[in-house]
Amino acid sequence: MLTSGCVSDGYGVRSGESQQAVTERPANELPMYGGRHNPTVEGDEIYSKQAAELGWKYYYRGDLDTAIKRFNQSWMFNRDNVDALWGFGVIMGRRAEQGNPKDNLKESIRFFEMAHNKALENNRILVDLAFSHTVLGRYFKIEERDNEEARRHFDIATNLFAEAFQMDSEYPPLIANWSVLHFYMGDYQQAKTKADQAVKMGYQFRPDYIKGIEEKLK
């Protein structure tokens, strides 16, 4: 399976943006066709796998709309395809950058949880799930000033990162995204410690993230 390739310093959630561009989409650009209709086609696992592979290819090219169409096709042919569900979670997380961050991140979490429940030993899904909780926690902390809800998501993310670490401690994005969680929580020393570990493992952060930690530690 492919990993979602999380951005280690956040989805770039913006506030105050129009929700129109996010919600007014054709059904095939919404996960599971947005529930607008229930396709009856099913039972072709080979096509489902091929469609999911195409979904990841388009995702890595940055074409999220085509990617989700392929993930929808994958899901249509096999409702249990983990990559399709995983892909939905990744794309909804990315769409949080474009607007309506709270609802899109909640949808991201929902699909990551569905994928995780079908692939309990896949630590990369756990990392992506933890990261969406991390970014949603940041949203509540910064945009809604709801520290209790922010803490709830940060606590969930902490437990998920710890669980993923037990599965595979050598996965660099895990350590990198865990650093981001500490940064959003205000624990800048731990953020630096984890960032240093990730860099030693070959992970490359955006320069402004490392600079941001150093400024907080002055």
Domains of the chain with CATH codes: 11-119 (1.25.40.10), 120-218 (1.25.40.10)
Please give the C-alpha separations between residue 75 and each of 26, 33, 84, 185, in angstroms, as whole numbers.
17, 10, 6, 36
Q: 10-residue block means of pLDDT along the chain (218 residues)?
A: 38 31 65 65 83 96 95 92 96 93 96 97 97 98 97 98 97 97 97 97 94 95
The candidate with the shortest Cα–Cα distance to 126, out of 167, 81, 87, 97, is 167
Amino acid code (one letter) for 179:
S
Give the model's pLDDT for residue 34: 75
pLDDT of residue 8: 37
- How many other CB atoms sit within 10 Å of the CB of residue 27? 12
| H, E, C per residue of 50-101 | HHHHHHHHHHHHCCHHHHHHHHHHHHHHCCCCHHHHHHHHHHHHHHCCCCCH
Query: Which residue has 């020393």 as its token pair?
Result: 189
Could you tell me the pTM of the whole model?
0.86
Q: What are the φ/ψ torsions at residue 196 (nearest 5 degrees)?
A: -60, -40
